[in-house]
Homo-oligomer: A and B are copies of this chain.
Amino acid sequence: MARASEQAYERIRAEIISGRFPPGHRLIEADLTALCEVSRTPVREALRRIVNEGLAEFSPNQGAQVVDLAAEDLEALYDLRTLIEGYGAARAATRISPAQIAELESLTGLMEALVDGGVDGAPEAAGANSRFHRIILEAAQSPRLLSVASQVIEAPLVLRTLARYSPDERVRSMAHHRELIAAFRAGDSQWAQAVMISHIKAAFTAIRRDIVQPGPG
């Protein structure tokens, strides 16, 4: 089975994103071996991948630990994300297929339903949101973009942005998704880019409200 490392990757990633491995938590290879029920070799491979996607940080001979975004320059991270996802949305506007647009609509409908139903569908909604963004990046038809984007999209997942939104912010976020779809339908790159930038800036504002950034030095 060529998926021991894949299995390890998904398991560790889930632990981090769910918050069961909190920021700063050390990722000991032996522990992960037990958790994932595979040997250290695929665990190490999964770890490198997770580090590469920005979910963890790595020090030689000291292993990896879950990234602590509160200690990082969140504004720089979100600026980069704005740049990259904005570019992706612009490219996607002239390349996206009707089938992909239909998928975006379906996901948006799902998320709206989860938001309206008072129950806490946060994890599911987060998953749908991730797929929404991923479809756009895939529609941009640039493998390199996909790979680059993962580095600025994965890390913020530990923040569980959607769960922090106020009701108003949730409504706005859904509106952004609807407007993105409209921009794609129109094939308008600038429009799509502008909405995507708004979407990410809005997310950053919600994050910044919650997380106290460390002063310089």
Contacts and interface: CB of A to CB of B under 8 A. Distances in A.
Contacts of A45: 44, 48
Given A52-B52, A80-B87, A142 B73 contact: yes
A201 to B, nearest CB: 15
B91 A76 contact: yes
A54 B147 contact: yes
A91 B75 CA distance: 12
Interface in A184-203: none
A104 interface: no
Contacts of A91: 76
Interface in A60-94: 60-61, 72-73, 76-77, 79-80, 83-84, 87, 91
Contacts of A73: 141-142
B152 A80 contact: no
A206 B80 CA distance: 27
Interface in A137-182: 141-145, 147-148, 151-152, 155
Nearest to A144: B77
A2 interface: yes
Interface residues on A, range: 20 to 34
A17 to B, nearest CB: 18
Interface string A116-146: 0000000000000000000000000111110
A152 B48 CA distance: 19
A84 to B, nearest CB: 7
Given A151-B147, A151-B148, A61 B2 contact: yes
Interface of A: 2, 41, 44-45, 48-49, 52, 54, 60-61, 72-73, 76-77, 79-80, 83-84, 87, 91, 141-145, 147-148, 151-152, 155
Which 10 pairs, one residue from A and one from B, show the smallest C-beta to C-beta distance? A76-B142, A148-B151, A2-B60, A77-B144, A52-B52, A83-B83, A2-B61, A148-B148, A83-B87, A48-B48
15 contacts: A41-B41, A52-B147, A72-B143, A73-B141, A73-B142, A76-B142, A76-B144, A77-B142, A79-B87, A80-B84, A80-B144, A83-B83, A84-B84, A148-B152, A151-B151
